[in-house]
Amino acid sequence: MPVIISAKYDLLNRTEGNFLGAPNGGTYTTQNGIGRYQRYDSGAIYRRVSIPFAFEIHGEIWAKWKSLGEENGFLGYPVSDETPPPSIQSPNRHSLFDGGIPDGRVRGAIVWTPTDLQGNGVRTYEIHGPIFQKWSSNGTLIPSMEVLDNFGFPIFPGFPLTDVLKCADGQGEFIHFTGCSFFWSPKTGAWAVSGQIKDTYASIGWERSPLGYPSSDPMRLLGSTTIFQRFERGSICVARDNSTRVSIQNSTSVWGSVGRRIFIDFADFGNTALPDGDIINVSVTGHGTIGDTTITLNKSPQITTRKEISLWSPSRGKLRTIQVSGRTNTSFMTVTPLDLESNDLYLVFSRESFWFFSTDVYWLGNANRLIGNDVVFNWVR
């Protein structure tokens, strides 16, 4: 109904001034037959016929949308006016789009920045697909995740510096922001890279490097200043002294081995019982990546049976083991960064079961996260 578009135009004139200018012609049906639009001297108003709302689009954002095929392009119809983000600290503006699917969800955006950040005359970029979903939260352009700087503190991704582009390997997509980059592939999903990890990743060839695509966001071990990030075929860690280590994964995987496996992560330690009822606390202290890593195992005096931690590889078996039992409440091992570098290493937690045999219970993957750290495990129960 043309009245919805004309009512929108009148409302904008009353509340924001006549920035669209005078109408150019009448209200027309879009090429795909499922929308209506009205053009003006400096913009347009569009709506889907199935939705009783209309939205304006103008300026450089309108020009960008037209270059992408307007409503027939991958961004689909606008589902917002040109709007500043929900942060008074950010001067950019954006319009949101439905990705061509009229279900009320937001699937893309065009973002305008007030400064030509690249020095190439371009100030407007589009974001869509899985990378948009990762970057946004409920379509409000509030970051839905925390990107870490070199010291492990969250940073705002900032302004886009590119559109969402195809990666050089033809498999995935990426976009660069002032504060980070996002990479997506069908196998790994969408993840951010930032800070010194991003610089290192770029220096070895991005997704075409031996690491492949990111498979996690940057993260910190609790109590440590070391930043760690997983990739398809390895990892990058940056220690407190800004030293960086790249680890390439061995092709052998623990998932092919036989037997009972309970895989855990650092977030599973603490006062809550692990799946088999044990309680193990952990504390991590960071240092430089060139220093050795000390792994300490303590047990409470109430525990009388043997407990063990082993450094294990599916291709090489158990490499090192420490144990506590009886009156021996503490044991430790020191390993070099080279010992931990392979991405197929696990810390295996074992306990005495019967007739003095030990049973492997918990498997903590990516032991190379401990590079640049000392770690203490306290087996409480």
Q: Is residue 249 part of a domain?
A: no
Q: Give the pLDDT confidence score for residue 119 in this predicted structure.
A: 75
* Residue 15 covered by a domain: no
Q: Are 178 and 118 in contact (CB under 8 A)?
A: no
Q: In whole angstroms, what is the distance from residue 144 CA to residue 98 CA?
A: 19
Between CA 237 and CA 230 the distance in angstroms is: 9
Residue with tokens 């990058």, as numbered in its chain: 236
Residue 242 covered by a domain: no
CB 135 within 8 A of CB 159: no
- Kindly tell me the sign of the dihedral angle through the C-alpha atoms of 78, 82, 86, 89: positive
Which of 121, 67, 59, 70 is CA-nearest to residue 94? Answer: 59
Q: How far is CA 376 from CA 45, 262, 381, in A?
A: 62, 20, 15
| Rounded Cα distance, 216 and 201, in Å | 14
Answer whether residue 320 is part of any domain: yes
Q: What is the 3-state secondary structure (H, E, C) of the chain?
A: CHHHHHHHHHHHHHHHCCCCCCEEEEEEECCCCCEEEEEECCEEEEEECCCCCCEEEEHHHHHHHHHCCHHHCCCCCECCCCECCCCCCCCCEEEEECCCCCCCCCCEEEEECCCCCCCCCCCEEEEEHHHHHHHCCCCCCCCCCCEECCCCCEECCCCECCCCEECCCCCCEEEEECCCEEEEECCCEEEEECHHHHHHHHHCCHHHCCCCCECCCCEECCCCCCEEEEECCEEEEECCCCCEEEEECCCCCHHHCCCCCEEECHHHCCCCCCCCCCCEEEEEEECCCCCCEEEEEEECCCCCCCEEEEEEECCCEEEEEEEEECCECEEEEEECHHHHCCCCCEEEEEEECCCCCEEEEEEECCHHHHCCEEEEEEECC
Residue 346 located in a structural domain:
yes
pLDDT of residue 256: 28
CA distance readout (Å), 46 to 25, 41, 52, 54, 57: 14, 15, 11, 6, 8
pLDDT tens for the chain, residues 1 to 381: 478 999 999 999 999 989 999 999 899 999 999 999 999 999 999 999 998 999 999 999 999 999 999 999 999 999 999 987 655 455 678 999 999 998 878 999 999 988 777 777 788 999 999 999 988 864 445 555 556 655 555 666 878 899 999 998 899 999 999 889 999 999 999 999 998 899 989 988 899 888 899 998 888 766 667 788 889 888 887 877 777 777 766 433 333 233 345 777 777 788 778 777 888 988 888 877 778 999 999 999 888 888 999 998 877 778 899 999 888 999 999 998 888 877 678 888 888 765 455 576 788 877 888 888 899 999 998
Q: 344 lies in which domain range?
A: 254-379
Instruction: Determine, yes or no, domain membership for 296.
Output: yes
Is 13 part of a structural domain of the chain?
no
Residue 81 near residue 110 (C-beta atoms within 8 A): no
Q: Look at phi and psi of residue 21 and say left if phi exceeds 0, alpha if psi is from -120 to 50, else beta.
A: left
Write down how long the chain is. 381
Query: What is the number of structural domains in the chain?
Result: 1
pLDDT number for residue 150: 57
In a domain, 11, yes or no: no
CATH number at residue 375: 2.60.40
Amino acid 125: pLDDT: 94
State residue 350's pLDDT score. 87
Q: What are phi and psi of 267, to 5 degrees?
A: -70, -15
Whose tokens are 């600290």? That residue is 89
pLDDT at 204: 83
246 close to 230: Cβ distance less than 8 angstroms: no
Residue 246, pLDDT score:
77
